[in-house]
């Protein structure tokens, strides 16, 4: 019983770490506390259960430690979603492997409830593993950004899920270790295929939802693994991670006004839309994907469209005037800023304008970037003061009293069509109401639609100045000319 | 049977407490939150270690080694990267009168 009390104590320390994680000031302490709890858990388990062969164990533990530690120290914040996706996958891998070995040994599993848990651990773990590898591949740009849709995709998904359930039912009555092993292996293959089919249909701007969902999967797999071996720490920690992932999934879905099922299944609709566009069109927000293609076509569209105000003046000069005269400025960064690696320039521009006595804030849409909170860490890395950052609900009323909305690499999240039209894939999505500002500057690569494929009427607005091209260069020039 | 019941209680309690606390994590910390929870889900390292507390064949040992390495990657990588990220969050100058700490 004392053993269980110690376990419970460790869980409480872990919880304390999570509690401290709710404020920016104490988050670092919270992280260290959680690390301490996990360290204690490892020591306690090793004290209770002598393990062997020690050299073998140390070698593998060191392998993981060195690889994880060195990657964590080197990776850039642009690469962080891929790293997190990889970690979701490794969590799933460890869970399904442990569940499988426990199942194959048979003897250690006390009753059928443990067996069910082990089987579920295999299914969730293997699906999370393979699904996360697909996600990590997309996020690190090894795979195309647009979703891949197989023929009869939904049917395949349903078939694989049914097959997994069938295998589970088959595994239950047989207690022969060999049969269990064969069924367990088959289950790994089927669940692995399920994970691939599930996540390959999600791409581009929908990645934050997928990555959160897989995060939940890795937690749930650990919890099932814990249930199968009767370890309270695994159960509690796994459940917490599972809940955390589900909360983030929910937050992301709400930010896009879509349902999870719709994103996991309906990514197809967006994908087809993107495919109907001209072939050269990169389907990412602000189309910043093909930076090298940056064509200096600035000036064509806005001039033909824009009012008689300043036809002969080039957009850059107009933009510079707007920046010079604006007192209240809101900067809206999007994933395109990260792709153009313009964070540094944007941060320095904000600093310079603040230094000139202007009121400068950043408006961040919850799904800007490739994972929840991605834009915040990108700006933090570029040394933007977090006191300047505003969330959607707080900043939206501010746009109407703002002189200038400076959009850098964002498209869908500022697309007024989301609120003005009812027939687009982004209709109903809460947007940053940049179009309500007195003037708007858009520093995007091109004036093509974002990932959703919906034309952005903001680009045609007479009060908008389009500065097309590489955002790093554009913002850098603005910075330079401001003097 | 009691064991199973207790485990389910632990599961439900952890999920409930996790929900009420994590729900209040501000959007600014969502990326660090996810990398920290990745580290926490590396708790399955305990399961991997326990595989070696009883004698097993070579196949099981290799699988156990893979699980151990993957979990260690998550624990170490997750906590290190979270700490690094949180170090980026700086607050230099006060923003006049506005509430920014949420």
Cα–Cα distance between A268 and A262 in angstroms, integer? 9
| A412 tagged catalytic | yes
Contact flag B49-A57 (C-beta cutoff 8 Å): yes
- A165 vs A186: CA distance, rounded Å: 12
3-state SS string over B36-101? HHHHHHHHHHHHHHHHHHCCCCHHHHHHHHHHHHHHHHHHHHHHHHHHHHHHHCCCCCCCCCCCCC
Contact with chain B for residue A397, Cβ under 8 A:
no
- Of B33, B46, B83, Cβ closest to residue A45: B46
Token reading at A461 = 């607005």
Q: What is the pLDDT of residue B93?
A: 56
With a CB cutoff of 8 Å and minimum separation 6, the contacts of A381 are A76, A77, A343, B88
CB contact under 8 A, A248 and B30: yes
pLDDT reported for residue B94: 52
Give the pLDDT of residue A110: 56
Put simply, the chain A residues between 143 and 182 with a CB less than 8 A from any chain B CB are: none
Among A57, A83, A55, A58, CA closest to A70: A83
Do B53 and A69 make contact, defined as CB atoms within 8 angstroms?
Answer: no
* 3-class state of residue A230 by DSSP: coil
Q: Is A220 on the interface with B (CB under 8 A)?
A: no
The ranges of chain A with pLDDT < 70 are 107-111, 174-175, 266-312
| A247-A250-A252 Cα angle (round to 5) | 110
Of the candidates A281, A412, A446, A470, the residue annotated as catalytic is A412
The residues that bridge with A359 in the sheet, in sequence order, are A328
Q: Rounded to a whole number, what is the largest CA-CA distance in chain A?
A: 84
Tell whether A223 is within 8 A of chain B (Cβ). yes
Chain B residues touching A385 at Cβ < 8 A? 90-93, 95
What pLDDT was estimated at residue A235?
A: 96
Say whether B90 and A226 touch across the interface (CB within 8 A). no
Q: What is the pLDDT of residue A108?
A: 53
**Is the CB of B90 less than 8 angstroms away from the CB of A73?**
no
DSSP A356: T
Question: Residue B23 and residue A19: Cα distance in Å, rounded?
Answer: 10
Lookup result for tokens 């796994």: A238
C-alpha A226/C-alpha A205 separation (Å) is 34
* Interchain CB distance below 8 Å, A68 and B54: no
Mutate to test the interface with A, among B44, B60, B68 (most CBs of A within 10 A): B44
What pLDDT was estimated at residue A313? 80
Q: In chain A, what residues touch B29 (CB-CB under 8 Å)?
A: 21-22, 24, 27, 373, 376
Of A46, A221, A245, the CB nearest to B49: A46
List CB contacts (< 8 A) between B80 and chain A: 68-69, 72-73
Is any Cβ of chain B less than 8 angstroms from the Cβ of A454? no
Residues of A in contact with B40 (CB under 8 A): 14, 34, 38, 219, 237, 240-241
Q: Which residues of A touch B47 (CB under 8 A)?
A: 94-95, 98, 102, 222, 225-226, 229, 231, 234
Please give the pLDDT value at position A448: 87
Q: Give residue A177's pLDDT.
A: 74
Tell me the chain A residues in contact with residue B54 when contact means C-beta distances shorter than 8 Å. 105, 108
Residue among A109, A132, A140 at smallest CA distance from A224: A109
The reported pTM is 0.88
Closest CA to A83 of A151, A143, A139: A139
Record: contact A38-B85, CB cut-off 8 A: no
**Which spans in A75-106 are helix H?**
80-105
Read off the pLDDT of residues A177-224 as tens digits, 9 standing for 90 and up: 788 889 999 999 999 999 999 999 988 888 999 999 999 999 999 999
Q: Which helix H or strand E contains A443, and what residues bound it?
A: strand A439-443
Q: Give the span between the Cα atoms of A478 and B18, in whole angstroms.
A: 46
Residues of chain B with pLDDT under 50: 95-102
Asked casually if ipTM beats, i.e. exceeds, 0.95, the reply is no
């Amino acid at each position: 019983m004392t053993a269980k009390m110690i376990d419970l104590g460790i869980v409480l320390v872990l919880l304390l770490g999570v509690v401290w994680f709710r404020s920016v000031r104490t988050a670092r302490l919270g992280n260290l506390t959680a690390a301490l709890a996990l360290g204690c858990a490892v020591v306690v388990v090793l004290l209770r259960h002598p393990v062997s062969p020690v050299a073998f164990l140390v070698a593998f533990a060191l392998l993981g430690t060195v690889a994880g530690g060195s990657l964590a120290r080197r990776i850039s914040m642009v690469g962080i979603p891929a790293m997190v996706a990889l970690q979701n996958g490794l969590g799933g891998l460890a869970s399904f492997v442990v569940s499988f070995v426990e199942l194959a040994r048979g003897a250690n599993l006390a009753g059928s409830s443990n067996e069910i848990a082990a089987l579920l651990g295999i299914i969730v773990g293997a699906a999370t593993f393979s699904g996360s590898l697909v996600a990590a591949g997309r996020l690190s740009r090894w795979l195309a950004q647009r979703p891949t849709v197989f023929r009869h995709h939904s049917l395949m998904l349903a078939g694989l899920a049914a097959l997994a359930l069938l295998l589970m039912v088959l595994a239950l009555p047989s207690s022969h270790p060999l049969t269990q092993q064969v069924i367990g292996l088959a289950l790994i293959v089927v669940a692995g295929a399920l994970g691939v089919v599930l996540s390959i249909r999600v791409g581009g701007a929908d990645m934050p939802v997928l990555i959160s969902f897989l995060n939940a999967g890795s937690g749930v797999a650990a919890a099932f693994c814990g249930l199968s071996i009767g370890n309270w720490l695994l159960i509690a920690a796994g459940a917490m991670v599972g809940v955390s992932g589900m909360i983030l999934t929910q937050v992301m879905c709400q930010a896009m006004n879509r349902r999870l099922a719709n994103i996991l299944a309906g990514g197809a609709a967006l994908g087809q839309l993107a495919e109907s566009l001209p072939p050269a069109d990169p389907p990412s927000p602000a189309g910043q994907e093909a930076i090298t293609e940056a064509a200096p076509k600035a000036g064509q569209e806005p001039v033909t469209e824009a009012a008689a105000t300043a036809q002969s003046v080039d957009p850059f000069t107009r933009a510079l005037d707007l920046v010079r005269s604006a007192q209240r400025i809101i900067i809206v960064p999007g994933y395109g800023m990260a792709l153009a690696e313009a964070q540094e320039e944007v941060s320095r521009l904000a600093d310079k304008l603040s230094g000139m006595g202007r009121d400068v804030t950043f408006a961040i849409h919850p799904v800007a970037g490739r994972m929840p909170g991605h834009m915040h860490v990108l700006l933090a890395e570029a040394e933007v003061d977090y006191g300047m950052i505003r969330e959607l609900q707080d900043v939206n009323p501010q746009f109407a009293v703002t002189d200038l909305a400076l959009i850098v690499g964002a498209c869908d999240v500022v697309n007024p069509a989301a609120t003005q039209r009812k027939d687009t894939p982004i209709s109903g999505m809460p947007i940053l109401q940049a179009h309500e500002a007195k003037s708007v500057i858009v520093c995007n690569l091109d004036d093509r639609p974002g990932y959703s494929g919906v034309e952005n009427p903001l680009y045609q607005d007479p009060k908008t100045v389009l500065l097309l091209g590489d955002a790093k260069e554009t913002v850098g020039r603005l910075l330079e000319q401001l003097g | 049977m009691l064991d199973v019941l207790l485990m389910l209680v632990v599961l439900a309690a952890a999920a409930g407490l996790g929900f009420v606390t994590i729900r209040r994590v501000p959007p600014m910390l969502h990326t660090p939150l996810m990398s920290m929870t990745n580290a926490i889900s590396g708790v399955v390292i305990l399961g991997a270690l326990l595989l070696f507390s009883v004698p097993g064949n070579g196949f099981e040992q290799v699988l156990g080694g893979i699980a151990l390495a993957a979990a260690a990657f998550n624990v170490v990588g997750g906590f290190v990267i979270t700490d690094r990220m949180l170090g980026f969050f700086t607050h230099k100058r006060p923003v006049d009168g506005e509430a920014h700490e949420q």
